[in-house]
Structure 1
Amino acid sequence: MTVPSVPSTEAWRPRARKVVVLASLVALGTVLLAAAIVWTWRHELPDPVASHWSAAGEPDGFMSLEAFALSSVLLVAGCVALFGAIGWSWGTSASTRRTVGAATVWSGAFGATLLLAGTASQRGLDDATQATSPGGALALALVLPLVPAVLAALVVPGDPREPATTPVADDAARVPLAEGERAVWIRRADGVPGLAVGALAIALTAVLAVVLQLWAMLVVPALLAVVLAAMFAFTVRVDASGLTVRSALGWPSTRVPADEIVRADVTRVRPLRDFGGWGWRVGQGGRTGVVLRAGEALEVERTGGRVLVVTVDDAATAAGLLNTVAERTR
């Protein structure tokens, strides 16, 4: 009998590099196109142009058009380099590659929109001190790039099926089940620290927008509220099919099929040190983390060198049941 080969843990690298290269080209191309358009407006713009506004909406920073355009391009280039390094080194899972692709494309569209909107409002002015507050431009720059970012995430292919071909390790914990017996484990995972910080940020940005009468900026706390609902309340389910982690909004979500589980264990998570913060995160080595708090977490190693970590109570039972259902698929 021929035994199937174990999928290479390096098979993800070509897929990750393709996403990084294509997303980087789109992001840099977008902001360079915006810079070229702005350059055609140079005879209609004041010299220097307003590049920064105070909290009261008054221009308080100025620079040449060339410097303003270059700073936008360099900002995007820095974001592209950061996200590219994450995807290039840690893009083991499709969720990470989709996040990297979306974030990279968003940064390019953000820089381009901010550059275009910030200068378009100054066309025809003789003095940049007359430039109006960019609150609407900033709101547009935050929202409009979400469209290409979502499209970028959607076109990134998912991970190919990679069933495990080796047995679950003998030292991995199990939940004993009789032959034919089934079990389901479900827990709610919430992030009090992240919810508290997010709620404070929502309140502060809403108050600031009202006090300064920058009504367009109310889109910021609205977006923060959606992110908060999507990132800090999850349902974690273990059954015969494997592991499912789903946000309260239904997205983001991920599923680990039972036949792709190498082993499951309990681990301890320090959000800042291990994942750089809270929410849906990418940690060292490319681990994907649903990090809602510090402490006990479920760690699932799957084929292809992928690892998923979820902070949830009673992780020991979840790990034992996952090892049992994974063993049954062998």
Structure 2
Amino acid sequence: MKSSRVVDPSGAVFGLLLPVLAALFGVVLTKVWEPRLPAEIATHWTTTSPDGFATPMSSAWTFALVTVLFGGGCAAIAALAQAMLMMRRTMLVVGLSVAGLILTVQVVLLYVQLDVTDASNTELPFWSLGLGVVIGAVVGLLGAALLRDYRPRVSATSPPDPRLPRADDPATVADTVGFGTVGSLVLLLLLGVAPAVAVCLLVDGWWPLAVFVPVGLLIVSLLRFRVIVDRSGIRVVNMGMTALQYDVDEIEGARVDVIKPFDDFGGWGLKVKGRRNYGVVTRTGPAVIVTTACGDRLTVTSARAEDMAGALNTFADRRLRHP
């Protein structure tokens, strides 16, 4: 069955509507508070004092434009129903984190200048940076969990080639590929915690933790996958959500080959090489290569590639005998 859906409803709400609403909220709030604001408000701070000023409404429209262009520009990809699900989820989290950061800073910026006559004496609470990232990321993750995969699904009409591996007693095969638990913690420490602590000491505040740690978590999550093969098919789980999934009735066959991530896919992680050729390639070595009736091909490097291929082919055989 082929899906003709072009727009993911959840993606449209979270990726298109929310950034626009965030931008408009900032404009409306500025208009409501304008009588209580100075003729020119501070819009940019150094570490000690304001060094940029603008009228309230010109600042509001600038914030709105930046929110839509950067936050909405990233998040809008989530609305494209036929795009890769994991890419849509990642870009939604990134885009709404940016939108949350901008809107929170704008609201706090306005609030600290209410009923102030001289904006040059105001200070921006830098904790608003961290709070904005956290709020945006949480909303982004909520929206990401609601996205659905609308890729074409076509049932295979013949069993896998008899020369492909089979399992005598097929069972669920699961493997964590990419960074393990220890490696993930070390990477998070290097990319998130250590830089955050350094900046915290520099600025004498906690807010860098709320910026660097979520970014570090996002990077680590993109380098760690759980691959599960069972009688329903094969699925790749990332960030606690299914990033790729092929049902057993779609699978034409699964074979094993040796893959070199940079030579064969030009990189490491979840990769796309050409049209509809996906790879979860995190090591040099054996990989299960799954072909499907819709024309997709999925390559997963794993020490258990032989077990995965044998189980998938056997489950596919049984599917045709017992539809």
Same fold (TM > 0.5): yes
CA drift at 1:315 = 4.0
| Alignment correspondent of 1:64 | 55
Q: Give the alignment of 1:33-182 within 5 angstroms.
A: 33-54=25-46, 56-79=47-70, 80-85=72-77, 87-88=79-80, 90-91=82-83, 93=85, 95=86, 97-99=88-90, 104-157=95-148, 162=153, 164-167=155-158, 170=161, 174-178=164-168, 181-182=169-170
Q: Is the 8 A contact 1:191 1:293 kept in 2?
A: no
Corresponding residue number in structure 2 for 1:3: none
Q: Secondary structure at the match of 1:62?
A: strand
What residue ranges of structure 1 are gaps of 5+ in the alignment? 1-6
- Correspondent of 1:201 among 191, 202, 213: 191
Matches within 5 A, 1:185-264: 185-191=173-179, 198-202=188-192, 203-224=194-215, 226-227=217-218, 230-246=221-237, 251-254=240-243, 255-264=245-254
1:234 is paired with a residue whose SS is strand
8 Å contact from structure 2 (residues 153, 294) kept in 1: yes
Return the alpha-carbon distance in structure 2 between the equivalents of residues 155 and 287 of structure 1.
Answer: 25
> Using a 3 Å threshold, how does the CA distance of structure 1 residues 189 and 165 change in structure 2: closer, same or farther?
closer
Measured after TM superposition, the shift of residue 130 of structure 1 is 2.1
Q: Which amino acid counterpart does residue 188 of structure 1 have in structure 2?
A: T
- Residue deviations 1:164-209, cap 9 Å, x none? 24225649x721334xx22454433123898776433321122101
Change (3 A) 1:150 1:256: same
1:137 deviates by 0.9
Return the offset for 1:162: 4.8
Q: Distance in 1 between matches of 2:283 and 2:38?
A: 50
Distance (whole Å) between structure 1 residues aligned to residue 274 and residue 31 of structure 2: 41
The match for 2:18 among 26, 29, 38 is 26
8 Å CA contact retained: 1:102, 1:150: yes
For residues 35 and 48 of structure 1, what CA distance do their matches in structure 2 show? 16
Q: Does structure 2 retain, via aligned residues, the 8 Å contact 1:185–1:238?
A: yes
Give aligned-pair identity as a percent: 22
State whether structure 2 residue 307 is matched by structure 1 residue 329: no
Aligned residues: 311
Superposed displacement of residue 29, structure 1: 1.7
1:44: how far off?
2.7
Aligned-pair distance for 1:81?
3.2
Counterparts in 2 of 1:167 and 1:107: CA distance versus 1, 3 Å: farther
**SS, match of residue 114 in structure 1:** helix
What's 1:4 paired with?
A: none
- Read off the aligned partner of 1:191 and give its amino acid letter: F
> One-letter code of the match for 1:187?
D
What displacement does 1:49 show? Answer: 2.6
Instruction: State the alpha-carbon separation in 2 of the partners of residues 44 and 126 from structure 1.
Output: 9
Structure 2 distance, partners of 1:57, 1:85, is 38
Structure with bigger RCO (C-alpha 8 Å, 6+ apart): 1
Any unmatched runs of 5+ in structure 2? Answer: none
Letter in 2 for 1:53: W
Superposition CA RMSD, Å = 4.0
TM-score, normalised by the number of residues in structure 1: 0.72
- CA distance in 1: counterparts of 2:104 and 2:278, whole angstroms: 31
- Tell me how far apart the structure 1 counterparts of residues 285 and 45 of structure 2 sit (CA, whole Å): 42
CA 208–105 in structure 1, closer or farther in 2 if over 3 Å, else same: closer
Secondary structure at the aligned position of 1:238 is classed as strand
- Contact 2:234–2:246, Cα closer than 8 Å, also in 1: yes
Structure 1 227/123 Cα, relative in aligned 2: closer, same or farther at 3 Å? same
Q: CA deviation at 1:212?
A: 1.0
Q: TM-score, normalised by structure 2?
A: 0.73
Q: CA-to-partner distance for each residue in 1:289-315, whole Å, 9 max, x for gaps?
A: 656568875554556666655454454
